[in-house]
Amino acid sequence: MTKKNSAQSLAQAPACVKSTYKGEPALVLENDALRLVVLPRRGAKAASIYVKKPARELLWQYPGDTYPPLVPGSAFKPEDSTGFDDMFPTVNAEPYPFAPWAGQPLPDHGEVWFMPWEETPSEAGSLSFAVQGRNFPYRLQKTFSLSGASLRIQYHVENLGETPFPCLWAAHPLFATRQRMRISLPAANRESCARVIVANSSEELGPQGTLLDYPLASPRRGVPAFDLSKISVDTGLTRKFYFAKPLTLGEVFLEDPPSEDGTGFSVALRFPADKVPYLGIWVNEGGWAGQNNIGIEPAAAGMDSPGNARKFGMEWILPPQGVQEWWLEIEPRVAQNV
């Protein structure tokens, strides 16, 4: 028998306070189960999601007591790959491919992660922020709220222009990894997640666009199949892939192996598959900047850029003056075998 405890406590309503975090102005949203730290000047990123029972930081943390200064439009650096950023309107750095903005540079990992966001009015016990595009006509808003051990982020984006806007939003939470972690999918996604498509060319997985079976992938003849759902550390490898079809159910789990006492730990991510149909996975096993982390990336469009999304049939277009809304939930869970 498995007894589940989601570390929830409803005794304490979420409280919001001003603080600092690694030298940055911060806003903290906290209840009995979770402590969330948001940095408005650094893309309103969730710098920390701290679980109180058991005591555990979910997100990758860059060593040191302070963040280096952000340089607008710069490439994503090792010190930036911490916490949870939003990638919009791209992930890849490349010229924007479509009129009327054709040739406009798209910064690495988009432009909202390095911009300061404005704090906006919100209900008690929540935090809301907004940012307006630098080079494209949009306004993106998000609201953080806590309910027990669940963090919910509500999103709202508006195309302020008179032209359709092919773009991409992807969540970019970087979870700290441990040996023998694994990605787990619900049975409802068995068919839609039977194959993956390689997003970044690599020796391990092959060229961009390669289709592989999931979870057991065989990129090359004569090489034994390996399990894409399993995570290792310090192998010196990285990989990025998307599930090749839109998801049936917007749910994915990052699971720890049970400890010696039988206790297991997992993190659930949930999102509306009709609004956020694609799921990207970035695995860094020490191959980039010596870090061991995983990005579980629900996305409105696939393959890391508006151009690639159209090329591979995974596009998202905001109509003129159009609005789109969606949400994302992150919930840590403890399971104890008794």
Question: Is residue 11 predicted with pLDDT exceeding 80?
Answer: no
SS3 (DSSP) at 150: strand
The fraction of the chain above a pLDDT of 70, given in percent, is 96
Say which residue the tokens 């469009």 belong to.
Answer: 301
Residue 25: strand pairing partners: 20
pLDDT tens string 82-101: 999 999 999 999 999 999 99
- For residue 136, the model assigns a pLDDT of 97
- For residue 6, the model assigns a pLDDT of 43
CATH number of the domain where residue 144 is located: 2.70.98.10
- For residue 336, the model assigns a pLDDT of 62
Averaged pLDDT score across all residues of the chain: 93
Q: CA-to-CA distance for 163 and 166, rounded, in angstroms?
A: 10
User: Which three-class secondary structure string do you get for 171-240?
Assistant: EEEEEECCCCEEEECCHHHCCCCCEEEECCCECCCECCCCEEECCEECCCCCCCCEECCEECCCCCEEEE
Q: Which of 105-109, 152-156, 219-223, 319-323 has the lowest mean pLDDT?
A: 219-223
Question: Is residue 78 predicted with pLDDT exceeding 90?
Answer: no
- For residue 224, the model assigns a pLDDT of 85
- Model confidence band, residue 334 (pLDDT cutoffs 50, 70, 90): confident
pLDDT tens string 58-71: 999 988 899 988 88
Q: CA-to-CA distance for 298 and 280, rounded, in angstroms?
A: 6
Q: How far is CA 268 from CA 69, 137, 254, 257, 334, in A?
A: 32, 33, 7, 15, 11
The fraction of the chain above a pLDDT of 90, given in percent, is 83
| Identity at 53, one-letter amino acid code | K
pLDDT tens string 229-282: 999 999 999 999 999 999 999 999 999 988 777 788 999 999 999 999 999 999
| Boundaries of domain holding 193 | 2-337
pLDDT tens string 108-147: 999 999 999 999 999 989 999 999 999 999 999 999 999 9
Please count the other Cβ atoms lying within 10 Å of the Cβ belonging to residue 112.
24
Total of domains in the chain: 1
Tell me which of 114 and 337 has the higher pLDDT.
114
Q: CA-to-CA distance for 257 and 20, rounded, in angstroms?
A: 34
- Model confidence band, residue 199 (pLDDT cutoffs 50, 70, 90): very high
- For residue 337, the model assigns a pLDDT of 54
| Identity at 11, one-letter amino acid code | A
- Model confidence band, residue 12 (pLDDT cutoffs 50, 70, 90): low
* H or E element in which residue 5 lies: strand 2-5
SS3 (DSSP) at 286: strand
* H or E element in which residue 306 lies: helix 306-311
Question: Is residue 179 predicted with pLDDT exceeding 60?
Answer: yes
Query: What is the reported pTM?
Result: 0.93
Q: Which two tokens stand for residue 157?
A: 């984006």
